Amino acid sequence: MSDPLTFLWPSVDTPEPRFTAGQIASWPADAVRQLDGLGILRRTDNAVHVVCPGCSEGHVEEVVPQTGPDGHTRFFIPCPESLRVEVPETLLLQWTVDFDALAVALAKALALRGHPKTIVPGRLWRLGKTPWQGANREVLFARGLGWPDGLTVTCHVGPNGRPIILVADQTPPDAVWAGRPPATIVLAQVAALGENGIEIDAVDVAARVNEADQRVATVMGLPVTGAEQKLAIRQQLKAEVRTHLEDDVLVASYKECGSYRKAADALTQQLGRKITKDKIGRAVLRAGGPDEVVQTADSPSVQRSVASQRRDGQKIICKSS
Ligand SMILES: [Zn+2]
């Protein structure tokens, strides 16, 4: 059986989700029972338009209720074939999503601290707090962030990008956020319905939050805060050192061997990965060109870096041929 929540997510970001009796009947019975049990699925007003059940034309008509002298209401639609068709009330029943109940189920699934609270009715809920690298982060559930009035919702989230936002199945564009976009988690990718309610893999969510934080930091060119900032700086330093080290090694091998091709062959063999002569050439150019390179004495750090990139720690050996 497919996860019952897969029936739910696509409707979360529609303004007034309605499931007809026909749709509900096509879902697995277990799905309906579970969602109903959690209070997430609930009955709402009857449909005012239906597909004609009296002919094969498939025409949609407005339902006309008629209350008899006994107080009993019956429902009819016009039909080109039968003139008038009575529609059983069971065909008019509709269900919707109780988003407050969904918010409660999500907070429970993530074992958050505190109680869910509505911030913007029907649109934004503060679910609680989750510990995050020595501090707390607020977790919110939002819907309709991509609607024309999305900014009236996102303005309640704050500009620092700290909260974690849960959305149904669509990541809103960065433009909906007035400040730094918060980490957005797509529920359709992490949530499933278990016997005891919605289940969310917290480790998976943490990994996705990390990824989202880093993406935003890259897009915004902004440092992350605290420990994350230090980590980001360390990673950037490492990358720079790696590039620098690589250039030093390429240039040193050229000096040793005297030609791009020989240097490339020697390094390829000794580093155990393919180094092209063009790569050597570009590094030499970055270092000021062949003349400049040959005249510059090797520094002790270059000698060390050459050795450190080799598996056996030995000096580069050029073949004479
Ligand atoms: Zn008809």
- pLDDT score at 310: 47
Average pLDDT over residues 59-87: 95
176-217 pLDDT, tens per residue?
A: 988 889 999 999 999 999 888 999 988 899 999 999 998 888
1 and 192 Cβ atoms separated by less than 8 Å: no
Name residues whose C-beta falls within 8 Å of residue 218's C-beta, 6 or more positions apart in sequence. Answer: none
Q: pTM score > 0.85 for this model?
A: no
Name residues whose C-beta falls within 8 Å of residue 174's C-beta, 6 or more positions apart in sequence. Answer: 181, 216, 219
- pLDDT score at 1: 53
Whole-number percent of the chain with pLDDT over 90: 48
What single string gives the DSSP state of each residue in 254-301?
HHHHSSHHHHHHHHHHHHSS---HHHHHHHHHHTT-HHHHHHSPPPHH
Alpha helices for the chain (secondary structure H): 5-12, 21-26, 29-37, 99-109, 150-154, 187-190, 202-220, 226-257, 260-271, 277-286, 290-295, 300-309
Q: Is the pLDDT of residue 146 over 50?
A: yes
Is the pLDDT higher at 284 or at 118? 118
Residue 218, Cβ density class (10 Å: 0-12 exposed, 13-18 middle, ≥19 buried): exposed
- pLDDT score at 190: 95
Task: Count CB atoms within 10 A of the CB of residue 59.
Answer: 15
83 C-alpha vs ligand 1 centroid, how far in Å? 8
26 C-alpha vs ligand 1 centroid, how far in Å? 22
- pLDDT score at 320: 54
- pLDDT score at 292: 77
Whole-number percent of the chain with pLDDT over 70: 84
Is the pLDDT higher at 258 or at 38? 38
65 C-alpha vs ligand 1 centroid, how far in Å? 17
52 C-alpha vs ligand 1 centroid, how far in Å? 5
261-291 pLDDT, tens per residue?
A: 888 888 888 777 788 888 888 888 777 788 7
20 C-alpha vs ligand 1 centroid, how far in Å? 19
Best CA proximity match to 248, nearest among 214, 299, 172: 299
Q: How would you label 173-193 residue by residue, b for 16+ Cβ within 10 Å and e otherwise?
A: eeebbeebbbbbbebbebbeb
305-317 pLDDT, tens per residue?
A: 444 554 444 555 6
59 C-alpha vs ligand 1 centroid, how far in Å? 6
244 C-alpha vs ligand 1 centroid, how far in Å? 77
47 C-alpha vs ligand 1 centroid, how far in Å? 17
- pLDDT score at 156: 94
Taking all residues of the chain, what is their mean pLDDT, rounded to a whole number?
Answer: 84
Least confident range from 129-138, 139-148, 205-214, 215-224: namely 215-224
Q: Is the pLDDT of residue 92 over 60?
A: yes
Best CA proximity match to 98, nearest among 126, 112, 118: 118
Which of 5-9, 219-223, 243-247 has maximum average pLDDT?
Answer: 5-9
- pLDDT-derived band of residue 135, with 50, 70 and 90 as boundaries? confident
11-21 pLDDT, tens per residue?
A: 999 999 999 98
Inter-CA distances, 159 with 143, 162, 181, 276, Å:
18, 8, 8, 47
Residue found by looking up tokens 């029936």 in the block: 7
Residues β-bridged to residue 199: 192
Task: Count CB atoms within 10 A of the CB of residue 264.
Answer: 22
- pLDDT-derived band of residue 120, with 50, 70 and 90 as boundaries? very high
84 and 7 Cβ atoms separated by less than 8 Å: no
- pLDDT score at 241: 46
234 and 294 Cβ atoms separated by less than 8 Å: no
What would you measure as the largest C-alpha separation in the chain, in angstroms?
111
56 C-alpha vs ligand 1 centroid, how far in Å? 7
- pLDDT score at 175: 86
Residue 60, Cβ density class (10 Å: 0-12 exposed, 13-18 middle, ≥19 buried): exposed
